[in-house]
Structure 1
Amino acid sequence: MKNRPRVRMGLASALALVALVLLTYVPFALSDDPAKPAQEREQEPHRSPIALVLSTDGTRLLTANQTAGTVSLVDTAAGRVLAEVATGDKPAGVALAKDSRRGAVTHWYGYDLAVLDVGADTLKVVGRVEVGPEPRGVVIGDDGKTAYVAVGVSNEVVRVDLDACEVTGRLAVGREPRGLALSPDGSHLLVGNTRSQSLSLISVGSWTVERTLPIKGDNLRQVTFSGDGSTGYVANLRNKGFATTRNNIDLGWVVGQCLTRVELDGAEPFATLTLDTQGKAAADVHGAAAARDGRYLAVSCGGTHEVMIFRTDLAALPWRSSSSRDMIDPSLLKSDGRFRRIEVGGRPTELAFAADGKTLYVANYLNDSVQVVDAEGAKLLRTIPLGGPKELSLVRRGEILFHAAERSFNQWYSCNTCHSDGHTNGLHFDTLNDGRQDLSTSHLRSRKKVPTLRRVSQTGPWTWHGWQTSLEDATIESFTKSMQGPNPSADEVRALVAYLTTLEFPRNPFRNADGSLSPEAQRGEVIFRSSKTACSKCHSGPELTDGKIHIVGLEERDDAYEGYNPPSLRGVYDKDPFLHDGRSKTLREALADPHSPETVSALGTLSESETDDLIAYLKSL
C-alpha cells in the first residue's frame, strides 16, 4: 500500500463539487397587499419556483417557491402575480383541482401538505396534514377532494382526504419516489422512483401498484402522460460508468441525458431519446411535458439553461428500445423541425403545456420567474417575474455556480448532477479523487459513491480517503478534475463555499416528536457506544466522525491513499447505498459483513435483536 501522495484530486466522490440544493433564507412576512412594491415588504427573498401547475382553462397558474416558502397565484394572460401566501418549509410540489378552486402544496423539509383555497385573485391556507418525510410530487384527483403525494424517504405514495385533512392510504413503491402524474382520465398515477431505476403505475380505483416499469435511468424528475394516457415520459440521467477523463466525457461515456418513454400496458420495453450533442451536451434534465394532441414533447435542462422541443408529426422520432445512444441521433440534427433548443437562462425545472398544445409554461428556479415558450415557433415569448432581491448575494452566486453545467467540459454535467439538491443521487463515479482511475468498466475499484453535501463544511477532511484538508481547494479540484472545467476565480470559490455552509439536514423522521429516542434506539445507543462494537471510536464528536484516517478492511491493494476517513453518520437513514463503493444497499447489509463490528473491531458478534436495535439508533442520528 502506498503512502498518501501530494496530489490534488476531486472532491469527495462524484463528478460534481459542492453544494446544496436550496438556499435557506430567514422567514419573511408577506404583505397583506400582494401588489405592494417589493421594497416595502419586510424582506425580499428569492422565490426559486421548483414546480408549477396550470389551471384547466389556462388562465391561472400556481408555483411552489422553494426558497421563499410560498406559493404564488399567477394570471397567465396579464403576466403578473395576483397573490402569494407563505405555506411551509421548502415547498416542492403543487397541485390544482380541475375546478381551480382548491390547491395543494407539499413541503420537502416540512413533511406535510398544505391545502389551499384558491380564489380569482386570492390564496389562503385552509388545512394541513402530515404525510411523511420529504414529500415532493403531488396531484389532486378528479373528485377534487383527494390528493396523492410522493413521499421520498418512506418510499410511498400517500393518499390524502383534503376535506378531512387526513391520510387514507399508503402504497409502497420504489426508492425515493419524486415525480407524480395523474392520467388524463384520472384512473392512474405514474410515479418516478429516483434511486431504483423504475416507474410505478398505480390504479387509483383499486389502490394498488398495477405495474412496475424498469428503465435504465437515474435522477428521475418530472413524469408525464401522453394525451391518450397510454404512454409515460420521464427525463433522466444515464450513468455510463467510465472515468471522468476529457475524452470519456466528450464521447458521452461518463453520463448522458435522456427522455425515456414507457408503454404503460407493459407490452414493450422502455425506449429513449438521447439528448446530448458532442461539444454541446444537455445537463440536469428535469421537466418533461407532452402536449395533449401529441404533437410536441418538451424537456427542460436545468444545467444548460434551455428547453428542448421535439415535434412528433413531421416524421417518426428515433426512439431506441431498451438502451440509449452515447449521442443524440444524427437525424435529429438535420434542421427538419423535429428537434430544437431554446435558451431560457436560469434553471428551468417543471413544465406544463396549455390546452392549445403549443404554449409551454416553464418554472425557472434561478430566474425567479415563470416563462412562456412557443413550441411551434421555438422561441421564448415572455418572462413573468415572481419577485426577488435586486442584488445577488454571495450565497446565491454560489448556488448559480453549483447548477452551472458550462463549468464542466463541453457542459456535460454540473455539481448538482451528482450531488442532487446538495445531497446524493446514490450513484458512484470514478472521478480521480482517490488518486487513480480505471481505464475501462471491467474493473470498477476506483469508483466511489457520491457523498451528501449536507453540513459538508463541518465534516473535513474531505474525500473518502480524507486526503483533502481544505474545502476551498476541494472545490477547485472538483471544477478542474471531476468536471474537467476551467479554474474558478477566488470570488467563485468563496461563493461556492458560502453556498455549502447553508446545506442542512431535514429533521430526523426516526425520532419521536419531541426529539427523543424510541426504546429500540435507546438500546441501540448503548450498543453503539459499547466496546463490543467500537462504533463510537471513529464515528464520534458532534458530526459523528473523528476526521481521522482508519484502516477498516475495505482497502484495495493498489489504493493510492492509505485507509478511509469515516463519513458522518448524521442522516445515515437516507444515504444509501452504503460504504465508499456503495456495495451495501441497506444498513443491515453493511453491518452483516463488510463493515460488521466483528470485521472492524474483532471484539464480538451482534445478535439479530442487537443488530435491529443498532440500526434503529443509526437511523435516529
Structure 2
Amino acid sequence: MCVLVVCILVVCVVSAIPSHAGESDDSATGCRYSGPSDIAVTHDGRHLLILEKDSRSLRKVDVDGKENAVVLSLPIAPERMRLFPNGRCVAVVGGGVKGELVLIDLETWKIDRRIRVGHTPTDIVMAYDKEAATPVTAYVANRFGGDISVIDLAGGNETARWKAGREPIALALTPDGKKLAAVGHLPEDDALNTGISSRFRIFNTADGSAKVIISRSGAVNMRDLCLSPDGRYAFASGNIGHFEQIPTNVDGGWMNENALFALDMEKEEFANVFYLDDYAYGAGNPWGVTLSDCKRFLVVSHAGSCEITLMNLAKMIDVLDKRTFPYQTDPNRLNANAPAENSAAENSAAENRTPIPPVADALPLRLRIRLGLKGMRRAVMSKETVYVTGYFEDSIGRIVLQMTEPIEPSRNRLADELLHRLPVLPETSQSIPKDGPLRFEPTEPLAPMKGVVVERGVARLGPVPDKTPERRGEMLFHDAIVCKEHWQSCTSCHSDGRSDCLNWDLLNDGMGNPKNSKSMVLAHETPPCMAHGVRADAETAVRSGFHGILFIDLPEKDYRDVDAYLRALAPVESPYRIDGNLSPAARRGKLLFHDSRTGCSVCHPEPLFTDLQRHDVDTLSPVDHSPEFDTPTLIECWRTAPYLHDGRYVTLHDLIRSGKHVDTDGRLDKLTDEEIDDLVEYVLSL
C-alpha cells in the first residue's frame, strides 16, 4: 500500500511539470484565438497586414471593410514582420526554439522561402540595395540565443552570428545600413549593483563589432526599438523599476514608471529618458514603438493601460539636441545619467537645427489616447490613422486624428479625468465571420484640446471566443488597468511570468532586506513561496500581490484565473541543449549533480529540482533577517540570473566558485575547472 501511494505521488508530480515549450506556447491557449502580434499597412495604403501569433497566420484585409480577409497559414508562431521597400514581399520571424525567417510573396500570397535562425527570434530589420529597392541582408534578434543572425537574402543562408548579450529583443538599422542598434530585454548586472539596467548595443555592420551602452538605473522590460528618420537617435520602450524605494504604495509611479529611453546613435551614448506617465495616471507597460509615415510622431502602444501615446517627434529631437528637460517637472525624477551641458560647438549646432514646424510646436510633447483594448502591443500610423492590435481581444483598434488650426493645448490636462477615461467598447456579435471584412464600430470621440478631435473604433477579427481560465488569467496578469492609477501590472515585475531581475524590499518578511524578484514558473507546484517561504503557497502569494502591489482586490474567480495561467506556464527549452537533448558536457554534469562529491541533488532532487524545504545555506547577508531560505527549483535556471536570493552572482560559475554555494566542507574546491563547467552546463540545460 505504501509503495502504491509513493508511485502515485511521483507520477502526479512529474505530470505537474509542463513540458518544454517555445515562448509562443507559454499561454497554453491553443489556436482558438487569433492573437494579433504585429500589424502593417501595405504601400498603397489600401490593406492591413495582420500577423496572428496564436492562429499562426498572416491576414490581409482592406481598410474600408468591403472585402473578405485573405488568410495565409504559417509554419511558425510569428512574432514580428517587416515589409520590403518595394511592397511585394514581407519578412516574418518567429518559431520559438526552432526559429525561422519566413519570406512571403504578397503578390502570389505564398511562402517564398524559409531560413533557419536562432532561438526565439523576436525582431528583424533589413539593409537594402537602394537602386533596386530590394533587401540584401537581414538581421534577426534571437532573444534566447542571446545573438543576432546575419542573413544573406540572395543566398538564403546565415553568414554570421553576433553575440548580443542578454535577451536581445528589438533592433533598428540606420538608413545608411552602417549601424545596427539592439536592446536587451533584461539587465546583465548583479542585483546589488545600484546601476542595474538593460543594455543597448550598437553594432558596426561591416565587422560585427559592438559598443555596449548602459541605460538608466532600473531600466528593464525593454520591448521595442525605433529610429528617428535621420537615424541620429534610437528610442526604446520599457519601464523604470524604482527598486531603491520600499514598495509601500504605487501612487505617482513610486514603484514603476513607464518611459522611452533615447540613445544617441552618432555619439554612441545614452542620451535621455522621456516619461510617458502623467502625475496621477500611469501609462502601464509600453510595448511597441514605431514611426508614423509622416515622420511627425512616434507611436507608442501600451499593452497594460490600453492606450496609445503620440510623441511629438520634432519636440523630442529639440530636447535631445539641446540636452534640456522641458518635459520634466519633478526634480526628483531627473535622469541621473543625463549628459553634461553642451559644449560651445554643440550649442552652435543646436542653434542652427531645423526649427519646429508651427503645427508640431502647438501640439504637446505627448498626446495620450485611451482605447480600452486588452493587449495593445503593436501599432502602425498611416497618414492621420493609427491601427493597433488588441492581442487578448482578437481585435484591431483604429484611432483617427483630426487637426485644425489653431491648436491650443488644455491648461488643465492632467486634471481632466475625461481624457483618461476608457471608452465603452461596442457590443460585438457572435455572428462575425472568421475571415470576413474588417468593420470598425465607433466608440465615443475624444477632444483632448482645441483644434484636435480623435475618432476611435474597434473591429473584431472573427467571432468572440470563449476565453479559458488560462487566457483570462494571462490577460489579468498583463493588465495595468486593474492597478491603482494604472502604473503597472503583474508583468512589470514578472515579465512573461518570470523576473525583472531587480531586488525589491517587499514588506511580507519585514523591512530593510531586499530580495530578487522570482520567476513564476512552477510556483504553484513548489510551495512555499518567497525567498524565506513566508507565503504558504502560490495561491496566497497571488492574492497578496494584487492587494499589496497593485492595490486592488479582485473577485475570487479572477484570482483563480491567474492561478490557472501561472500553472500553465511551461519552461522554455534551454539554449544550452542540442536538438532538445543534453550536450556531452551536460551529460557529464548530470552525473556530477547526482554525485556525493557535489551533493546538489540532496536539496534539488528531480523532478522538480527542489526538496520544498528551507535551509541555512550560509548565504546570510548583513541585511537578511533569517539564515534559512526556501530551496528554489532549478528548472529554467538558464533564464533566471542573477543568482541567489539577493541576486549577488551574475553567473552560476560565480555562485559555485566565488560563492562556494553550500560548500561547508571544501568539496567544491576539489572539482576541476572542467568539472565545474560540466556541472554548470547541466544546470543551465534544465
- Pick the TM interval, shorter chain: 0.7 to 0.9
Larger displacement relative to structure 2 (46-55 or 584-593):
46-55
Does the 8 Å CA contact 2:252/2:280 hold for their aligned counterparts?
A: no
Q: Which residue of 1 aligns with 2:195?
A: none
SS of 2:634's partner is coil
State the AA in 1 paired with 2:393: N
Structure 1 letter corresponding to 2:378:
E
CA–CA separation in structure 2 for the residues paired with 1:601 and 1:202: 44
Once the two structures are TM-superposed, the CA of residue 150 in structure 1 deviates from its matched residue by 0.4
Q: 1:462 aligns with which of 518, 526, 529?
A: 529
Q: Counterpart in 2 of 1:261? A: 262
8 Å CA contact 1:117, 1:124 repeated in 2? yes
1:372 corresponds, among 387, 398, 409, to: 398
Is contact 1:193-1:220 (8 Å) kept? Answer: yes
Pair 1:352 & 2:372 matched: no
Secondary structure at the counterpart of residue 500 of structure 1:
helix
Give the whole-Å Cα distance in 1 for the aligned partners of 2:568 and 2:67.
31
Alignment partner for residue 658 of structure 2, among 593, 597, 608?
593
Q: Deviations over 1:432-458 (max 9, x none)?
A: 24x1223xxxxxxx2222222223332
Structure 1, gaps ≥5 residues long: 1-18, 28-44, 439-445
For residues 260 and 370 of structure 1, the distance between their equivalents in structure 2, rounded to whole angstroms, comes to: 27
The structural deviation recorded for 1:207 is 4.2
Q: Is 1:137 matched with 2:128?
A: no
In the alignment, which of 231, 234, 243 is matched to residue 233 of structure 2? 231
* Map of 2:554 onto structure 1: 488
2:593/2:601 contact within 8 Å kept:
yes
Paired with 2:519 and 2:66, the residues of 1 have a C-alpha distance of 38
Quickly say closer, same or farther: Cα 1:359–1:102, change in 2 above 3 A. Answer: same
Alpha-carbon distance, 1:295 to partner = 2.4
Deviation at 1:595, TM superposition (A): 4.4
SS at match of 2:649: coil
Map 1:418-433 to 2 at 5 A.
418-433=493-508
Which structure would you say has the larger Rg? 2
Q: What residue in structure 1 maps to residue 489 of structure 2?
A: 414
> Kindly tell me: are residues 199 and 558 of structure 1, through their superposed partners in 2, closer, same or farther at Cα, counting changes over 3 Å?
closer
Q: Is the 8 A contact 2:516 2:645 kept in 1?
A: yes
Give 4+ residue runs of structure 1 displaced > 6 Å after superposition.
Answer: 314-317
Letter matched to residue 190 of structure 1: A
Report the TM-score, using the length of structure 1 for normalisation: 0.83
CA distance in 2, matches of 1:564, 1:20: 33
CA contact (8 A) 1:97 1:141 kept: no
Q: Percent identity?
A: 26
One-letter code of the match for 1:552? V
- Aligned pair 1:76/2:63, yes or no? yes
Counterpart of 1:270 in structure 2 is: 271
1:144-543 alignment runs, 5 A limit:
144=135, 146-196=137-187, 197-204=198-205, 206-209=206-209, 211-216=211-216, 217-247=219-249, 249-266=250-267, 269-313=270-314, 337-345=364-372, 346-354=374-382, 356=383, 358-375=384-401, 377=452, 379-387=454-462, 389-433=464-508, 435-438=509-512, 446-483=513-550, 485-513=551-579, 515-543=580-608
8 Å Cα contact 1:104/1:113 also seen in 2: no
On the 8 A contact 1:115/1:162 being kept in 2, the answer is: no
Separation (CA, whole Å) in 1 of partners of 2:77 and 2:463 = 16
Aligned partners of 1:64 and 1:454: how far apart in 2? 27
Query: How far is the alpha carbon of 1:312 from its aligned partner?
Result: 4.5
Letter paired with 1:477:
S
SS of alignment partner, residue 129 of structure 1: strand
**Alpha-carbon distance, 1:369 to partner:** 2.5
- In terms of mean alpha carbon deviation, does 315-324 or 604-613 score higher? 315-324
SS at match of 1:494: helix
Contact 1:259–1:275 (Cα < 8 Å) also in 2? yes
Are the aligned partners of 1:598 and 1:605 in contact in 2 as well (CA < 8 Å)? Answer: no
- What value does the CA root-mean-square deviation take over the aligned residues? 3.1
Q: Please state whether the residue corresponding to 2:629 is helix, strand or coil.
A: coil
**Structure 1 residues 502 and 72, CA, compared in 2 at 3 Å: closer, same or farther?**
farther
For each residue in 1:435-488, what CA deviation from the matched residue of structure 2 results, as whole angstroms up to 9, or x when unmatched? 1223xxxxxxx22222222233322221122232232211111111233x1222
Task: Indicate the residue corresponding to 1:37 in structure 2.
Answer: none
How far apart in 2 are the matches of 1:337 and 1:58? 28
Who is 1:35 aligned against? none
- For the residue of structure 1 that corresponds to 2:585, the secondary structure is helix
**1:549-578 Cα shifts (integer Å, max 9, x gaps):** 111112246645551112111121121111
With structure 2 as the length reference, what TM-score do the two structures score?
A: 0.76
Is contact 2:127–2:137 with CA below 8 Å preserved after alignment?
A: yes
Q: Determine which structure has the larger helix proportion and give its number.
A: 2
Letter in 1 for 2:201: S
Contact 1:114 1:126 in 2 (8 A): no
